[in-house]
A and B are shown apart, each in its own frame.
Chain A
């Protein structure tokens, strides 16, 4: 059988079974069984297929996935995530579209301690959306940021899908996790700026409420000392190096706050009332975040080790607040086991697919056709990204990876593209897929938690601006690869 016929049989078979509604893993197992009989020698091929299934999942590269998921599940099931959102909402005051901004800030924090996009969107949607709608927020302005920040979760480490991509493609998992941080934060900042500007231009989109005022009507102390400290810190940053500048700024800010509290007790009360819950509930999360990301950036721990330590730290955090009941632990672990099982079972079913593609000559055949096509490497790269975006419109992220990684990675290697750069752009495309109609996963998650009167078309319209920002980020990374590769290159 010529490789083109084999390719048609394999890709066509998977596509038909996927459209039929078969579980993704079984769609791949079915074509692998056919491939094993046709191309791998019948019974010997089937035994090889069974052995490959065992070997595919018995892989240390995938072990961070359950632990990253466990971090988020623990926070959600112990109720600590809700307390953290409440704390963030006390700090963020007097900004246009305050609740939307809270969703974005809280979502960014959770992205850094959770490996699950769906969980972040579902939780923020269930918690904040009803309140936003009750206050008369424009529906698009209310739903859009929640969905958008769920997508960012895929870029900001810890990210289960980044580990999956690294494990399947051979791209450095640390590189992907660390490389996603800057693009993820850029998106978060751009989203916040967009929301604030839109609500500032048209305040009717997000009516202010009395609840947005400071607790007890207290006014904040004039931040003169803090402003001086900020100036000194910034100056130090320019004069020395940025991280010493940030350090000086933080120390000066803390000292100024302490000084003001000592001078006037009402300031102390104000600071404690507004910032106390953040110190208690959010600061430990930030500490865990730094522990997980920092240990990888500094090269102290492998992704698996940082994931395990992060999960253990989250357990300790929950126990310290007496939120770690047996029920919460059991539910968190079962939720983690469920999502881990979903992902790993697809890998178990699909691994031999790449091997059969290679065995039939399809992988080489495609690589040869593409390289001899005369198209420039840049155009081919754009083609790959367009394919990923189109696939993202219809199928889930794990399936896209199983289908495309075996075909794309040889090309990436052949043309000498920076693998981390390619991987981050790949993840941005996956993030776009989560938000893009007609079948973006986060659209359905939002529809699931939104009141029934909100139509799917409204949900889709709400996600549209954030998709455009995602595309712009993709273009930025494409044009300026350092956005993705700068941080990993410093490790």
Chain B
């Protein structure tokens, strides 16, 4: 079990790296488009579309990785000021809510992808391709978030009875 959790941690680290690589790729693509347009009078017609998809993919890959690192923005006005045990209970409540929502969104995300694939819905812009190619990361993200919320619950239930010290900021 411990080995499995370790492998899962590596997967999440990999997700972070994929998100980082996608941001680099977005930047390179836009720069290439600008240079080609101004120097060679050529364009990459799908550059706008591809960067939009890359931003979505980067977000979906980053989200579970950020949850593992405790970097999702949250407001700790109350949780940091209540007694430790109350903070601990609030953490458990938040994790349970997160788990429920993630499972629910995984379910409906999969339904969305399957319906799109079954109806052969296409995206017709500069690129023409099956819509589910864009949709699939959403349920995958929520599935990974579900696993992570489960692990968070396991960690907080077996750890000290206090709130976590985490919460990212913009």
Chain A residues in contact with chain B, CB under 8 A?
17-26, 29-30, 33, 43, 46-47, 49-51, 53-54, 57-60, 62-63, 66-67, 70, 117-118, 160-161, 301, 304-305, 307-309, 311-312, 330, 333-334, 336-346, 348, 394-399, 438-439, 441, 444-445
On whether the beta carbons of B170 and A58 are closer than 8 Å, the reply is no
List residues of chain A with CB within 8 A of the CB of B31.
Answer: 308-309, 311-312
Distance (whole angstroms) from the CB of B170 to the closest CB of chain A:
6
B53 at interface by CB-CB < 8 Å = yes
On whether the beta carbons of B170 and A24 are closer than 8 Å, the reply is no
Q: Which of A70, A160, A337 contacts B19 (CB 8 A)?
A: A337
B143 at interface by CB-CB < 8 Å = no
On whether the beta carbons of B170 and A330 are closer than 8 Å, the reply is no
On whether the beta carbons of B75 and A394 are closer than 8 Å, the reply is yes
| Given contact pairs A47-B112, A50-B112, A341-B63, A59 touches B20 in the complex (Cβ within 8 A) | no
On whether the beta carbons of B27 and A312 are closer than 8 Å, the reply is yes
- B98 closest partner in A (C-beta): A26
Which secondary structure characterizes the binding site on chain A?
A: helix
How far apart are the CA atoms of A338 and B20 in the complex, in Å? 8
How far apart are the CA atoms of A77 and B98 in the complex, in Å? 33
Most buried by A among B20, B31, B56, B67: B20
List residues of chain B with CB within 8 A of the CB of A160.
Answer: 170
List residues of chain B with CB within 8 A of the CB of A25.
Answer: 63, 72-73
- B82 closest partner in A (C-beta): A21
On whether the beta carbons of A346 and B51 are closer than 8 Å, the reply is no
Q: Which of B16, B34, B139, B167 contacts A305 (CB 8 A)?
A: B34
List residues of chain B with CB within 8 A of the CB of A54.
Answer: 56, 134-135, 138
- B76 closest partner in A (C-beta): A21
How far apart are the CA atoms of A17 and B75 in the complex, in Å? 9
On whether the beta carbons of B53 and A18 are closer than 8 Å, the reply is no
Q: What's the count of A-B pairs with C-beta under 8 Å?
A: 208
Q: Which of B23, B28, B73 contacts A337 (CB 8 A)?
A: B23
Distance (whole angstroms) from the CB of A336 to the closest CB of chain B:
6
Q: Which of B60-80 contact A (CB under 8 A)?
A: 62-63, 65-67, 69, 71-79
How extensive is the interface on chain B, given as a class?
35 or more
Q: Which of B66, B105, B112 contacts A338 (CB 8 A)?
A: B66
How far apart are the CA atoms of A339 and B105 in the complex, in Å? 23
Distance (whole angstroms) from the CB of A147 to the closest CB of chain B:
14
B55 at interface by CB-CB < 8 Å = yes
Distance (whole angstroms) from the CB of B167 to the closest CB of chain A:
8
List residues of chain A with CB within 8 A of the CB of B65.
Answer: 341
B163 at interface by CB-CB < 8 Å = yes
How far apart are the CA atoms of A131 and B149 in the complex, in Å? 43
B26 at interface by CB-CB < 8 Å = yes
How far apart are the CA atoms of A162 and B79 in the complex, in Å? 30
How far apart are the CA atoms of A33 and B66 in the complex, in Å? 22
List residues of chain A with CB within 8 A of the CB of B115.
Answer: 47
What are 21 residue pairs bridging A and B, where the CB atoms are less than 8 Å apart in the complex? A19-B77, A20-B90, A21-B74, A23-B72, A23-B74, A29-B101, A33-B105, A46-B108, A50-B138, A54-B56, A57-B55, A63-B26, A118-B169, A160-B170, A304-B30, A333-B24, A340-B59, A341-B63, A345-B63, A396-B170, A441-B169
List residues of chain A with CB within 8 A of the CB of B67.
Answer: 23
On whether the beta carbons of B91 and A60 are closer than 8 Å, the reply is no
Distance (whole angstroms) from the CB of B61 to the closest CB of chain A:
8
List residues of chain B with CB within 8 A of the CB of A17.
Answer: 97
| Given contact pairs A304-B51, A333-B23, A338-B16, A396 touches B73 in the complex (Cβ within 8 A) | yes
| Given contact pairs A301-B34, A308-B34, A399-B73, A342 touches B170 in the complex (Cβ within 8 A) | yes
Q: Which of B20, B135, B168 contacts A330 (CB 8 A)?
A: B20
List residues of chain B with CB within 8 A of the CB of A21.
Answer: 74-76, 78-79, 87, 90-91, 94, 163, 167
B36 at interface by CB-CB < 8 Å = no
Distance (whole angstroms) from the CB of B70 to the closest CB of chain A:
10
How far apart are the CA atoms of A204 and B52 in the complex, in Å? 55
Q: Which of A23, A43, A70, A161 contacts B27 (CB 8 A)?
A: A70
B111 at interface by CB-CB < 8 Å = yes
The 10 closest A-B pairs by CB, nearest first: A341-B62, A308-B30, A333-B20, A21-B79, A23-B72, A337-B19, A344-B59, A337-B20, A46-B108, A22-B94
How far apart are the CA atoms of A438 and B21 in the complex, in Å? 37
List residues of chain A with CB within 8 A of the CB of B71.
Answer: 338, 341-342
